[in-house]
Structure 1
Amino acid sequence: MAVQRKEAVPASPGPALPSLAGPRPHYRARVANALRAALVAGELKPGEIHSAPSLAARFGVSATPVREAMLDLVKEGLVEAVPNKGFRVTAVSEQQLDEYTHIRSLVEIPTTAALAATAAPDDLEKLRDVAGEIVDAAVAGDLIAYVDADIRFHLGLLALAGNAHLVEVVHDLRKRSRLYGLTALVEQGRLEASAREHHEILDALLARDERRVREVMTRHLGHVRGMWAR
Protein backbone atom coordinates (compact mmCIF):
# COMPACT_ATOMS: atom_id res chain seq x y z
CA MET A 1 0.00 0.00 0.00
CA ALA A 2 1.38 3.37 -0.99
CA VAL A 3 2.49 5.77 1.70
CA GLN A 4 0.12 8.73 1.82
CA ARG A 5 1.87 12.08 1.51
CA LYS A 6 1.07 14.44 4.32
CA GLU A 7 1.59 18.16 4.45
CA ALA A 8 5.29 18.51 5.19
CA VAL A 9 6.54 20.65 8.03
CA PRO A 10 10.09 21.78 8.72
CA ALA A 11 12.03 19.06 10.47
CA SER A 12 13.13 19.29 14.07
CA PRO A 13 16.88 19.30 14.76
CA GLY A 14 16.78 15.52 15.17
CA PRO A 15 19.66 13.23 16.10
CA ALA A 16 23.16 14.48 15.53
CA LEU A 17 24.74 13.46 12.25
CA PRO A 18 28.39 12.40 12.12
CA SER A 19 30.77 15.34 12.02
CA LEU A 20 32.58 15.65 8.71
CA ALA A 21 34.70 18.59 9.73
CA GLY A 22 38.43 18.33 9.24
CA PRO A 23 41.16 18.83 6.66
CA ARG A 24 40.18 16.02 4.32
CA PRO A 25 38.80 17.00 0.88
CA HIS A 26 35.76 15.76 -1.06
CA TYR A 27 33.18 17.04 1.42
CA ARG A 28 30.49 16.86 -1.25
CA ALA A 29 30.90 13.12 -1.79
CA ARG A 30 31.31 12.41 1.91
CA VAL A 31 28.25 14.49 2.83
CA ALA A 32 26.21 12.83 0.06
CA ASN A 33 27.16 9.37 1.33
CA ALA A 34 26.30 10.30 4.92
CA LEU A 35 22.97 11.78 3.80
CA ARG A 36 22.10 8.63 1.85
CA ALA A 37 22.87 6.52 4.90
CA ALA A 38 20.72 8.81 7.06
CA LEU A 39 17.86 8.47 4.57
CA VAL A 40 18.13 4.69 4.40
CA ALA A 41 18.36 4.41 8.20
CA GLY A 42 15.27 6.57 8.60
CA GLU A 43 17.10 9.35 10.46
CA LEU A 44 15.79 11.76 7.81
CA LYS A 45 12.11 10.90 7.41
CA PRO A 46 9.73 11.21 4.42
CA GLY A 47 8.03 14.59 4.24
CA GLU A 48 10.58 16.40 6.36
CA ILE A 49 12.08 19.57 4.94
CA HIS A 50 15.73 20.27 5.67
CA SER A 51 17.69 23.38 4.75
CA ALA A 52 21.33 23.19 3.73
CA PRO A 53 22.43 25.44 6.64
CA SER A 54 20.64 23.28 9.24
CA LEU A 55 22.16 20.07 7.88
CA ALA A 56 25.57 21.76 7.61
CA ALA A 57 25.42 22.61 11.32
CA ARG A 58 24.71 18.97 12.14
CA PHE A 59 27.60 17.78 9.95
CA GLY A 60 30.01 20.44 11.15
CA VAL A 61 30.77 21.75 7.65
CA SER A 62 29.79 24.77 5.56
CA ALA A 63 26.46 24.90 3.75
CA THR A 64 27.99 24.78 0.25
CA PRO A 65 28.99 21.08 0.10
CA VAL A 66 25.71 20.14 1.78
CA ARG A 67 23.70 22.07 -0.80
CA GLU A 68 25.71 20.47 -3.62
CA ALA A 69 25.23 17.02 -2.09
CA MET A 70 21.50 17.57 -1.76
CA LEU A 71 21.31 18.51 -5.43
CA ASP A 72 22.95 15.16 -6.21
CA LEU A 73 20.26 13.45 -4.14
CA VAL A 74 17.58 15.35 -6.05
CA LYS A 75 18.86 13.76 -9.26
CA GLU A 76 18.63 10.35 -7.58
CA GLY A 77 15.04 10.99 -6.50
CA LEU A 78 15.84 10.74 -2.79
CA VAL A 79 14.83 14.34 -2.03
CA GLU A 80 13.08 17.13 -3.89
CA ALA A 81 13.82 20.83 -3.88
CA VAL A 82 11.34 23.12 -2.12
CA PRO A 83 11.77 26.74 -3.23
CA ASN A 84 12.89 29.10 -0.46
CA LYS A 85 12.79 26.29 2.13
CA GLY A 86 15.28 23.55 1.33
CA PHE A 87 14.82 19.91 0.42
CA ARG A 88 11.96 17.54 1.19
CA VAL A 89 12.70 13.85 1.81
CA THR A 90 10.68 11.81 -0.68
CA ALA A 91 8.43 8.95 0.37
CA VAL A 92 8.83 5.32 -0.70
CA SER A 93 5.73 3.14 -0.97
CA GLU A 94 5.41 -0.32 0.54
CA GLN A 95 5.10 -1.73 -2.98
CA GLN A 96 8.37 -0.09 -4.01
CA LEU A 97 10.14 -1.51 -0.95
CA ASP A 98 8.78 -4.97 -1.78
CA GLU A 99 10.00 -4.62 -5.37
CA TYR A 100 13.47 -3.44 -4.31
CA THR A 101 13.83 -6.36 -1.90
CA HIS A 102 12.62 -8.85 -4.50
CA ILE A 103 15.15 -7.65 -7.07
CA ARG A 104 17.92 -7.72 -4.47
CA SER A 105 17.06 -11.30 -3.55
CA LEU A 106 17.15 -12.35 -7.21
CA VAL A 107 20.57 -10.77 -7.66
CA GLU A 108 22.42 -10.88 -4.34
CA ILE A 109 21.57 -14.37 -3.07
CA PRO A 110 22.79 -16.42 -6.06
CA THR A 111 25.72 -14.09 -6.75
CA THR A 112 26.95 -14.26 -3.17
CA ALA A 113 26.37 -18.02 -2.95
CA ALA A 114 28.44 -18.57 -6.10
CA LEU A 115 31.39 -16.85 -4.40
CA ALA A 116 31.75 -19.94 -2.21
CA ALA A 117 33.41 -21.59 -5.20
CA THR A 118 35.29 -18.64 -6.67
CA ALA A 119 36.27 -16.03 -4.07
CA ALA A 120 39.84 -16.01 -2.77
CA PRO A 121 40.06 -16.48 1.02
CA ASP A 122 42.27 -13.40 1.37
CA ASP A 123 39.69 -11.24 -0.40
CA LEU A 124 36.95 -12.53 1.89
CA GLU A 125 39.02 -11.95 5.03
CA LYS A 126 39.55 -8.34 3.99
CA LEU A 127 35.83 -7.82 4.62
CA ARG A 128 36.07 -9.13 8.18
CA ASP A 129 36.92 -5.68 9.56
CA VAL A 130 33.88 -4.18 7.81
CA ALA A 131 31.69 -6.90 9.31
CA GLY A 132 33.13 -5.91 12.68
CA GLU A 133 32.25 -2.26 12.02
CA ILE A 134 28.64 -3.29 11.41
CA VAL A 135 28.46 -5.10 14.75
CA ASP A 136 30.14 -2.20 16.57
CA ALA A 137 27.69 0.27 15.04
CA ALA A 138 24.76 -1.96 16.04
CA VAL A 139 25.99 -2.17 19.64
CA ALA A 140 26.46 1.60 19.76
CA GLY A 141 23.09 2.26 18.14
CA ASP A 142 24.80 4.34 15.43
CA LEU A 143 22.37 3.75 12.57
CA ILE A 144 24.13 5.91 10.00
CA ALA A 145 27.45 4.11 10.59
CA TYR A 146 25.56 0.80 10.49
CA VAL A 147 24.03 1.49 7.09
CA ASP A 148 27.30 2.85 5.69
CA ALA A 149 29.29 -0.23 6.75
CA ASP A 150 26.50 -2.59 5.66
CA ILE A 151 26.53 -1.11 2.16
CA ARG A 152 30.33 -1.36 1.94
CA PHE A 153 30.23 -4.98 3.08
CA HIS A 154 27.63 -6.22 0.60
CA LEU A 155 28.95 -4.21 -2.33
CA GLY A 156 32.44 -5.45 -1.48
CA LEU A 157 31.20 -9.03 -1.64
CA LEU A 158 29.40 -8.52 -4.93
CA ALA A 159 32.49 -6.85 -6.42
CA LEU A 160 34.32 -10.15 -6.00
CA ALA A 161 32.04 -11.59 -8.68
CA GLY A 162 33.71 -9.27 -11.20
CA ASN A 163 30.52 -7.64 -12.53
CA ALA A 164 30.74 -3.89 -11.99
CA HIS A 165 27.29 -3.23 -13.51
CA LEU A 166 25.68 -5.64 -11.05
CA VAL A 167 27.32 -3.79 -8.15
CA GLU A 168 26.01 -0.49 -9.52
CA VAL A 169 22.46 -1.84 -9.80
CA VAL A 170 22.43 -3.16 -6.23
CA HIS A 171 23.96 0.06 -4.93
CA ASP A 172 21.16 2.04 -6.55
CA LEU A 173 18.52 -0.25 -5.00
CA ARG A 174 20.12 0.11 -1.58
CA LYS A 175 20.16 3.90 -1.85
CA ARG A 176 16.45 3.92 -2.65
CA SER A 177 15.45 1.55 0.17
CA ARG A 178 14.42 2.79 3.62
CA LEU A 179 14.99 0.74 6.78
CA TYR A 180 12.33 2.41 8.88
CA GLY A 181 12.49 -0.12 11.71
CA LEU A 182 16.15 0.19 12.67
CA THR A 183 15.50 2.40 15.69
CA ALA A 184 13.01 -0.12 17.07
CA LEU A 185 15.54 -2.93 16.62
CA VAL A 186 18.13 -0.98 18.59
CA GLU A 187 15.63 -0.39 21.40
CA GLN A 188 14.70 -4.09 21.42
CA GLY A 189 18.32 -5.21 21.36
CA ARG A 190 17.78 -7.11 18.11
CA LEU A 191 19.98 -5.19 15.70
CA GLU A 192 23.20 -6.77 16.98
CA ALA A 193 21.94 -10.27 16.10
CA SER A 194 21.21 -9.17 12.56
CA ALA A 195 24.61 -7.47 12.36
CA ARG A 196 26.42 -10.68 13.30
CA GLU A 197 24.95 -12.41 10.26
CA HIS A 198 27.64 -10.68 8.22
CA HIS A 199 30.25 -12.78 10.03
CA GLU A 200 28.09 -15.87 9.35
CA ILE A 201 28.14 -15.08 5.64
CA LEU A 202 31.93 -14.81 5.61
CA ASP A 203 32.32 -18.02 7.64
CA ALA A 204 30.10 -19.93 5.22
CA LEU A 205 31.96 -18.56 2.21
CA LEU A 206 35.34 -19.46 3.68
CA ALA A 207 34.01 -22.97 4.42
CA ARG A 208 33.00 -23.23 0.73
CA ASP A 209 29.48 -24.09 1.90
CA GLU A 210 27.27 -22.69 -0.86
CA ARG A 211 24.08 -24.08 0.67
CA ARG A 212 24.84 -22.36 3.96
CA VAL A 213 25.66 -19.07 2.23
CA ARG A 214 22.32 -19.16 0.43
CA GLU A 215 20.52 -19.95 3.69
CA VAL A 216 22.10 -17.09 5.65
CA MET A 217 21.67 -14.60 2.80
CA THR A 218 18.00 -15.53 2.44
CA ARG A 219 17.44 -14.99 6.16
CA HIS A 220 19.45 -11.78 6.12
CA LEU A 221 17.53 -10.19 3.25
CA GLY A 222 14.31 -11.37 4.85
CA HIS A 223 15.11 -9.11 7.77
CA VAL A 224 15.25 -6.15 5.42
CA ARG A 225 11.60 -6.50 4.52
CA GLY A 226 10.42 -8.26 7.66
CA MET A 227 12.10 -7.08 10.84
CA TRP A 228 13.14 -3.80 9.22
CA ALA A 229 9.76 -2.93 7.71
CA ARG A 230 7.73 0.06 8.85
Structure 2
Amino acid sequence: MSDVPVISVRGEAVLEVEPEIARLSVHVQSQEDDRRGALDRLAERNDRCLELVRSYGDAVERLETGGLSITPLLRHRRREGEVRAYQGTVWIKLVIRDFAVLGELVARLGDLERTYVHGPDWDLRRDSEVYARAARQAAQEAVARARSYADALGARLTGLLELSDEGLGRADAGGPVPVRLAAAYGAPESAGEPEPIDLEPARQTVRAAVEARFTATAPDLDA
Protein backbone atom coordinates (compact mmCIF):
# COMPACT_ATOMS: atom_id res chain seq x y z
CA MET A 1 0.00 0.00 0.00
CA SER A 2 1.29 3.45 -0.89
CA ASP A 3 2.58 5.72 1.86
CA VAL A 4 1.31 8.81 0.03
CA PRO A 5 -0.46 11.11 2.50
CA VAL A 6 -4.25 11.23 2.10
CA ILE A 7 -6.55 14.04 3.20
CA SER A 8 -10.24 13.14 3.66
CA VAL A 9 -12.81 15.92 3.84
CA ARG A 10 -16.51 16.62 3.57
CA GLY A 11 -17.97 19.43 1.49
CA GLU A 12 -21.46 20.80 1.94
CA ALA A 13 -23.61 23.46 0.29
CA VAL A 14 -26.94 24.88 1.45
CA LEU A 15 -28.96 27.04 -0.93
CA GLU A 16 -32.19 28.92 -0.26
CA VAL A 17 -34.08 29.71 -3.45
CA GLU A 18 -37.51 30.78 -4.62
CA PRO A 19 -39.86 27.94 -5.65
CA GLU A 20 -40.37 27.26 -9.35
CA ILE A 21 -43.83 25.68 -9.26
CA ALA A 22 -46.86 25.35 -7.00
CA ARG A 23 -48.96 22.20 -6.73
CA LEU A 24 -52.71 22.22 -6.08
CA SER A 25 -54.93 19.27 -5.29
CA VAL A 26 -58.61 19.77 -6.16
CA HIS A 27 -61.46 17.42 -5.20
CA VAL A 28 -64.80 17.83 -6.97
CA GLN A 29 -67.75 16.02 -5.39
CA SER A 30 -71.39 15.18 -5.93
CA GLN A 31 -73.99 13.45 -3.79
CA GLU A 32 -77.33 12.26 -5.14
CA ASP A 33 -79.98 9.68 -4.28
CA ASP A 34 -79.17 7.49 -7.28
CA ARG A 35 -75.91 6.41 -8.89
CA ARG A 36 -76.63 7.86 -12.33
CA GLY A 37 -77.58 11.22 -10.83
CA ALA A 38 -74.31 11.31 -8.87
CA LEU A 39 -72.34 10.52 -12.04
CA ASP A 40 -74.13 13.15 -14.12
CA ARG A 41 -73.73 15.86 -11.49
CA LEU A 42 -70.08 14.93 -10.98
CA ALA A 43 -69.43 15.17 -14.72
CA GLU A 44 -71.00 18.65 -14.82
CA ARG A 45 -68.92 19.94 -11.92
CA ASN A 46 -65.75 18.32 -13.23
CA ASP A 47 -66.25 19.98 -16.63
CA ARG A 48 -66.83 23.34 -14.95
CA CYS A 49 -63.63 22.96 -12.92
CA LEU A 50 -61.53 21.89 -15.92
CA GLU A 51 -62.91 24.75 -18.02
CA LEU A 52 -61.90 27.23 -15.33
CA VAL A 53 -58.38 25.80 -15.04
CA ARG A 54 -57.86 25.69 -18.82
CA SER A 55 -58.87 29.34 -19.11
CA TYR A 56 -55.51 30.22 -17.50
CA GLY A 57 -53.60 28.81 -20.47
CA ASP A 58 -49.82 28.43 -20.10
CA ALA A 59 -49.92 29.62 -16.48
CA VAL A 60 -50.93 26.02 -15.69
CA GLU A 61 -47.99 23.74 -16.44
CA ARG A 62 -49.79 20.47 -15.83
CA LEU A 63 -53.40 19.36 -15.46
CA GLU A 64 -54.11 15.73 -14.56
CA THR A 65 -57.02 13.70 -13.28
CA GLY A 66 -55.66 11.72 -10.36
CA GLY A 67 -58.69 9.47 -9.88
CA LEU A 68 -62.46 9.10 -9.79
CA SER A 69 -64.75 7.22 -7.44
CA ILE A 70 -68.47 6.60 -6.97
CA THR A 71 -69.22 5.41 -3.44
CA PRO A 72 -72.55 4.16 -2.05
CA LEU A 73 -73.36 5.68 1.34
CA LEU A 74 -75.17 3.18 3.56
CA ARG A 75 -77.89 4.16 5.97
CA HIS A 76 -76.18 2.15 8.75
CA ARG A 77 -72.40 2.34 8.75
CA ARG A 78 -71.62 -0.62 10.98
CA ARG A 79 -73.76 -3.20 9.22
CA GLU A 80 -74.94 -3.89 5.73
CA GLY A 81 -78.01 -1.83 4.96
CA GLU A 82 -79.80 0.03 2.23
CA VAL A 83 -78.03 2.71 0.24
CA ARG A 84 -79.14 6.20 1.24
CA ALA A 85 -77.12 8.09 -1.39
CA TYR A 86 -74.21 7.92 -3.82
CA GLN A 87 -71.16 10.16 -3.54
CA GLY A 88 -68.90 10.89 -6.48
CA THR A 89 -65.41 12.35 -6.29
CA VAL A 90 -62.91 13.44 -8.94
CA TRP A 91 -59.36 14.26 -7.88
CA ILE A 92 -57.58 16.81 -10.08
CA LYS A 93 -53.87 17.60 -9.78
CA LEU A 94 -52.50 20.93 -10.95
CA VAL A 95 -48.99 22.33 -11.38
CA ILE A 96 -48.89 26.12 -11.62
CA ARG A 97 -45.88 27.91 -13.08
CA ASP A 98 -47.18 31.51 -12.98
CA PHE A 99 -47.57 32.61 -9.37
CA ALA A 100 -49.17 35.89 -10.48
CA VAL A 101 -52.47 34.06 -11.14
CA LEU A 102 -52.24 31.58 -8.29
CA GLY A 103 -54.17 33.54 -5.66
CA GLU A 104 -56.99 34.24 -8.09
CA LEU A 105 -57.17 30.64 -9.30
CA VAL A 106 -57.25 29.21 -5.77
CA ALA A 107 -60.06 31.57 -4.78
CA ARG A 108 -62.13 30.81 -7.90
CA LEU A 109 -61.69 27.06 -7.49
CA GLY A 110 -62.71 27.26 -3.84
CA ASP A 111 -65.81 29.20 -4.88
CA LEU A 112 -67.13 26.36 -7.08
CA GLU A 113 -69.92 24.20 -5.71
CA ARG A 114 -68.74 21.09 -3.82
CA THR A 115 -65.15 21.74 -4.83
CA TYR A 116 -62.33 21.40 -2.29
CA VAL A 117 -58.84 22.83 -2.75
CA HIS A 118 -55.65 21.86 -0.96
CA GLY A 119 -52.47 23.84 -1.53
CA PRO A 120 -50.34 25.40 -2.65
CA ASP A 121 -47.42 23.09 -2.05
CA TRP A 122 -44.34 24.98 -3.24
CA ASP A 123 -41.69 23.00 -5.06
CA LEU A 124 -38.75 22.91 -7.46
CA ARG A 125 -38.79 20.99 -10.71
CA ARG A 126 -37.01 17.63 -10.68
CA ASP A 127 -34.52 18.86 -13.29
CA SER A 128 -33.97 22.24 -11.63
CA GLU A 129 -30.49 23.68 -12.13
CA VAL A 130 -30.46 24.46 -8.40
CA TYR A 131 -29.58 20.83 -7.62
CA ALA A 132 -26.58 20.89 -9.98
CA ARG A 133 -25.49 24.25 -8.55
CA ALA A 134 -25.62 22.88 -5.01
CA ALA A 135 -23.59 19.81 -6.03
CA ARG A 136 -20.91 21.97 -7.66
CA GLN A 137 -20.65 24.19 -4.61
CA ALA A 138 -20.33 21.17 -2.31
CA ALA A 139 -17.48 19.76 -4.43
CA GLN A 140 -15.76 23.16 -4.52
CA GLU A 141 -16.01 23.43 -0.77
CA ALA A 142 -14.44 19.98 -0.39
CA VAL A 143 -11.47 21.05 -2.53
CA ALA A 144 -11.09 24.31 -0.63
CA ARG A 145 -11.20 22.54 2.73
CA ALA A 146 -8.65 19.91 1.68
CA ARG A 147 -6.35 22.61 0.32
CA SER A 148 -6.66 24.52 3.59
CA TYR A 149 -5.65 21.44 5.58
CA ALA A 150 -2.73 20.81 3.24
CA ASP A 151 -1.54 24.42 3.55
CA ALA A 152 -1.71 24.18 7.34
CA LEU A 153 0.64 21.19 7.18
CA GLY A 154 3.03 22.73 4.68
CA ALA A 155 1.87 20.35 1.96
CA ARG A 156 -0.06 20.66 -1.29
CA LEU A 157 -2.70 18.55 -2.99
CA THR A 158 -1.51 16.27 -5.78
CA GLY A 159 -4.59 14.30 -6.85
CA LEU A 160 -8.10 13.07 -6.19
CA LEU A 161 -8.61 9.50 -5.00
CA GLU A 162 -12.35 9.48 -4.48
CA LEU A 163 -15.41 11.74 -4.59
CA SER A 164 -18.74 10.38 -3.35
CA ASP A 165 -22.13 12.02 -3.15
CA GLU A 166 -23.70 11.88 0.30
CA GLY A 167 -27.02 12.95 -1.07
CA LEU A 168 -28.68 15.80 -2.84
CA GLY A 169 -32.16 17.02 -2.13
CA ARG A 170 -34.50 19.41 -0.44
CA ALA A 171 -34.68 20.00 3.26
CA ASP A 172 -37.98 20.74 4.99
CA ALA A 173 -38.84 24.24 3.95
CA GLY A 174 -40.91 24.98 7.04
CA GLY A 175 -42.98 27.42 5.02
CA PRO A 176 -46.50 28.62 5.61
CA VAL A 177 -49.31 26.14 6.20
CA PRO A 178 -51.03 25.26 2.90
CA VAL A 179 -54.32 27.00 2.19
CA ARG A 180 -57.38 24.76 2.40
CA LEU A 181 -60.58 26.00 0.82
CA ALA A 182 -63.98 24.41 0.47
CA ALA A 183 -67.07 25.71 -1.22
CA ALA A 184 -70.24 25.72 0.88
CA TYR A 185 -71.60 22.18 1.17
CA GLY A 186 -74.24 21.70 -1.51
CA ALA A 187 -74.72 25.47 -2.03
CA PRO A 188 -74.64 27.29 -5.38
CA GLU A 189 -71.69 29.48 -6.26
CA SER A 190 -71.75 33.00 -4.82
CA ALA A 191 -72.55 35.95 -7.06
CA GLY A 192 -69.56 37.62 -8.71
CA GLU A 193 -65.92 36.60 -8.55
CA PRO A 194 -64.20 36.07 -5.18
CA GLU A 195 -61.29 38.26 -4.14
CA PRO A 196 -57.87 36.75 -4.97
CA ILE A 197 -56.03 35.32 -1.97
CA ASP A 198 -52.61 36.79 -1.21
CA LEU A 199 -50.15 33.86 -1.25
CA GLU A 200 -46.47 34.25 -0.39
CA PRO A 201 -44.16 31.61 -1.94
CA ALA A 202 -42.13 29.65 0.60
CA ARG A 203 -38.38 29.61 -0.10
CA GLN A 204 -36.93 26.16 -0.77
CA THR A 205 -33.82 24.84 0.97
CA VAL A 206 -31.55 22.58 -1.08
CA ARG A 207 -28.63 20.74 0.51
CA ALA A 208 -25.80 18.83 -1.12
CA ALA A 209 -22.88 17.06 0.55
CA VAL A 210 -19.88 15.13 -0.76
CA GLU A 211 -17.01 13.18 0.75
CA ALA A 212 -13.64 13.42 -0.95
CA ARG A 213 -10.16 11.92 -0.51
CA PHE A 214 -7.11 13.71 -1.91
CA THR A 215 -3.47 12.72 -2.15
CA ALA A 216 -0.93 15.26 -0.96
CA THR A 217 2.77 15.85 -0.73
CA ALA A 218 4.53 14.96 2.50
CA PRO A 219 3.76 17.49 5.24
CA ASP A 220 6.47 19.79 6.56
CA LEU A 221 5.94 19.15 10.25
CA ASP A 222 9.10 21.00 11.22
CA ALA A 223 7.92 24.31 9.76
Flag whether TM exceeds 0.5 (same fold): no
Structure (1/2) with the larger helix percentage? 1
TM-score (structure 1 length as normaliser): 0.23
Structure label with greater radius of gyration: 2
**Which is strand-richer, 1 or 2?**
2
More contact order relative to length (CA 8 Å, sep ≥ 6): 2
